[in-house]
Structure 1
Amino acid sequence: MVVPSRDAVIVRMGMTNGPGWPRSKFVAGVLAALPSPLAPTGLDMQITANTTGMAADLGVAADVEARDHCVIVIKGSFQADPAGAMTLLPEQPPPCATDEHYGDPATTSLRRANDFALYKPRAELLVDGFAHVPEGSPPVPELRVTLEVGERRKQVLVSGERVWVSNFGSASPSPPVPFTRMPLRFERAFGGPLEPRNPVGVGYHPKRSARDVDGLPVPNLEAPDERVERPDARTRPVGLGPLGRSWQPRLRHAGTYDARWRSERCPFLPDDFDARYFLSAPEDQHFDHFRGAERIRCHHMAARPVVTYVLPTVRVPVHVFTATGPSRAGLAVLDTVILQPHLARAELVWRTSVPLTKKLGALREVRIGELPARADGILGYRDGKPHFGDLRAALRWLRRKPGSPRR
């Protein structure tokens, strides 16, 4: 059972709010998005079987109606071969129980988002990696990286190190220093403390003179059609990794945390909370769904020019057993893909959830994966009663010939 840490929340409470960042809305939004360790979980709730070969864990999260749910997360770490076929790695790290940053949460971007969101209304694709000149090629001043999924593509223009150069009262970027590898992180993109879309970025100085910004860094990551030209001009932050919980446009989905919310709803989610808040990828990296077999191509993100992934067609059935009612079965949904092209690796996350009742311990066990059944369809016995994988197996058992052995 996951009990997430609130350390990141405590640190961020002390941050200076940028324009349009109401503190009450910001803090409450962060708290609301985490699974609550205070929710009644049931002491007997546990994963008793997992045949997927992947890591799995349980968490608890509340919905807008303040009803608690058991969130079941299955996370697989895969290696891709040159053709894109993906196989499970020998080691399977567990799902992330809290947001993980590259450093200080107040000054660095997210590396991994908390995996225990209650629900993701769309699937999302993220990249944790680098812009990379092909092996054997000389350093270059600029490189265009491309993330391609089917007919969709996203491009990022990556430049070598640059600084603002003051000249006769204005400032402009210096020529880029040639490079062979550059991190694809939001710290390298347009932004700064006064830019709510990317407060950990660089290059935006609307209130400083050209002399003051002389020598300060210019973004390495840009949209090809929207270059950074002046330190006081706003442009679009661009990246391939996750957005912070307090950043726009993600924050606008957190809902309204005003006086009415404090008096009528606190500490629960506001009425206008939007589950898109749980999506940490930039909006142009959202997809309706992943069914498996999707082909993803990453250009200029590894020593070889193109790294290909073909998402596996994996079914992840989940069986839930309660203390009083019948078992429930369903398929977990693949809603998150995280790529590491420089390693030809990927992390895939499947998710499902089950509403919890007020009765402590009502949810007893969770079984994940294809479970072996006996010839009579029985998965096992609990308190002397048979449990089946589906209704059809139960009906076959009930219609068995008189005198057939029950066990």
Structure 2
Amino acid sequence: MWTLANRTPFAAFSGFDRDKDGRSYWLVWAKATFRMRYQRTCLFERKQVDLFRAPVWREGVGVSDLVADLDIGLPKVRPDVVVTGHAYRPATTAIDEPYTVSASIGEWSKSLSVQPAMIWSDRLQPQLQSGDDPVFLGFSQTFGGTDQASDTGLAQEHPGNPLGLGYWKTEAAAKGKALPRLYAQGAEPLKQWDGSAEPAAFCAIPKSWPQRAQHSGTYDQNWMRRKSPLLPDDLHEDYWQSVSVDQQLDHAPPEGLTVTLTNMLPDGGDASLRQFTTELPTLQFESMTRFKSRWQETPMTLQTVHLFPDDGLLTLSYCGAMPLMSAANDVLVERSELTLRGQSGFRVRPEDTECFDGLGMEV
């Protein structure tokens, strides 16, 4: 009972969850990992990245960039695109000049402006720094931050991004501090120490930040009396989206789309490498569950496209949610079988074809 037979070469997991109306679901999750190749189709990666069963932080929990939210949960309304990597200055761009970093999948695209490394001088003017390391594409490098030296004696956080750079409450606190490196495309970089900008990054957003928390619903005394431990009535499905709106796809990408990464890999002086292109793999899963002694199929929908340019990897996460109506029906779930019905947009090394043996697939 409650088992999953994973007949694919990809990572998979299953379990139960309940929505805000108390409906119970039997969920099957899958995650596929591929190696990106320049101007070629991706390769199946034998060492698969497991499903994230907890949020993944770059360093400390809550005090660094959120690399990825958990993969295990209720399905999202729209697929997310997450990018974990760095911006690399093109060899032909001077150290005091900005440049653009971007990602695109088919018609979807997002670009950020990368500014030179600057600090506020003693006269509170932007002052160029000599170092120019690759810039991590997270909220720690865009506008925001926490002023620990506030006049109030309490740390003052930027409400939308406590991790960032450039948010100060006093002139004394700003002196010698770094300016933001990442801005939304077309946004003006800071000119004054008390200026502001919209935080812009490619990383995931923590659930506690207002961008997501505004959709989490109301947890008050009325909720305590009527709904706890269920989710509140006014929770919105957008709460499950882990990235900003401009990184949410309208629908699952069709076959044959091109992934383009601009200035996310060092070019080594080769201008052609500034735009890295590959094909986005496409998978069709079949999830069958034996429930009430009958087999039922549950559609598997794309949840997250996660790009790891530094590691050369790409992952695709999927979820299938079978409604059970009542939690009392949990015991009627016997088992599920996950199989690969179709695929395109990737190749398999000869030594890895055994991973697909018995699947009835041409690789």
Residue 284, structure 1, aligned to residue 246, structure 2: yes
The match for 2:360 is: none
* 1:172 equivalent among 122, 125, 130: 125
Residue 140 of structure 1: how far off its partner (Å)? 3.0
The match for 2:47 is: 91
The match for 1:347 is: 315
Q: Is the CA contact 2:283–2:340 (under 8 Å) kept in the aligned structure 1?
A: no
Residue 133, structure 1, aligned to residue 89, structure 2: yes
The match for 1:251 is: 213
* Residues 1:348 and 1:240: Cα distance change in structure 2 (over 3 Å): same
Residue 179 of structure 1: how far off its partner (Å)? 2.0
The match for 2:236 is: 274
Q: Is the CA contact 2:75–2:303 (under 8 Å) kept in the aligned structure 1?
A: no
Residue 62, structure 1, aligned to residue 32, structure 2: no
Residue 172 of structure 1: how far off its partner (Å)? 3.2
Distance 2:15 2:140 in 1: 31
**SS state of the match for residue 358, structure 1?**
helix
The match for 1:23 is: none
Distance 1:59 1:218 in 2: 45
Residue 325 of structure 1: how far off its partner (Å)? 3.3
Cα deviation code 1:40-85 (max 9, x no counterpart): xxxx21112x232110011332101122222211001111222241
Residue 147, structure 1, aligned to residue 103, structure 2: yes
After the TM superposition, which residues 1-400 of structure 1 pair with which residues of structure 2 at under 5 Å, given as runs? 44-48=1-5, 50-134=6-90, 140-141=95-96, 142-167=98-123, 171-177=124-130, 179-193=132-146, 194-205=157-168, 207-208=169-170, 210-226=171-187, 227-290=189-252, 291-303=254-266, 304-322=273-291, 324-356=292-324, 357-359=327-329, 361-370=331-340
- Runs of 4 or more, structure 1, over 6 Å off, are none
RMSD: 2.0
Distance 1:318 1:214 in 2: 58
Aligned length: 320
TM-score (norm. length: structure 2)? 0.82
Distance 1:187 1:143 in 2: 18
* Residues 1:176 and 1:154: Cα distance change in structure 2 (over 3 Å): farther
Cα deviation code 1:243-270 (max 9, x no counterpart): 1111121111111122221221122111
**SS state of the match for residue 217, structure 1?**
coil
- Greater CA drift, 305-314 or 267-276: 305-314
% identity of equivalent residues: 24
**SS state of the match for residue 256, structure 1?**
coil
Residue 307 of structure 1: how far off its partner (Å)? 1.7
Distance 1:185 1:308 in 2: 22
Residue 159 of structure 1: how far off its partner (Å)? 2.6
* Residues 1:163 and 1:330: Cα distance change in structure 2 (over 3 Å): same
Distance 1:150 1:360 in 2: 40
Unaligned runs of 5+ in 1: 1-43, 372-407
Residue 143 of structure 1: how far off its partner (Å)? 2.4
Q: Is the CA contact 1:125–1:281 (under 8 Å) kept in the aligned structure 2?
A: yes
Residue 363 of structure 1: how far off its partner (Å)? 1.1
* Residues 1:191 and 1:114: Cα distance change in structure 2 (over 3 Å): same
Q: What amino acid maps onto 1:173 in structure 2?
A: P
Distance 1:342 1:84 in 2: 17
Q: What amino acid maps onto 2:2 in structure 1?
A: M
Q: What amino acid maps onto 2:244 in structure 1?
A: P
Distance 1:177 1:272 in 2: 50
**SS state of the match for residue 283, structure 2?**
coil
* Residues 1:127 and 1:360: Cα distance change in structure 2 (over 3 Å): closer
Residue 180 of structure 1: how far off its partner (Å)? 4.9
Distance 1:242 1:283 in 2: 11
Q: Is the CA contact 2:93–2:99 (under 8 Å) kept in the aligned structure 1?
A: no
Q: What amino acid maps onto 1:312 in structure 2?
A: P
- Rg comparison, structure with higher value: 1
Residue 176 of structure 1: how far off its partner (Å)? 4.6
The match for 1:29 is: none
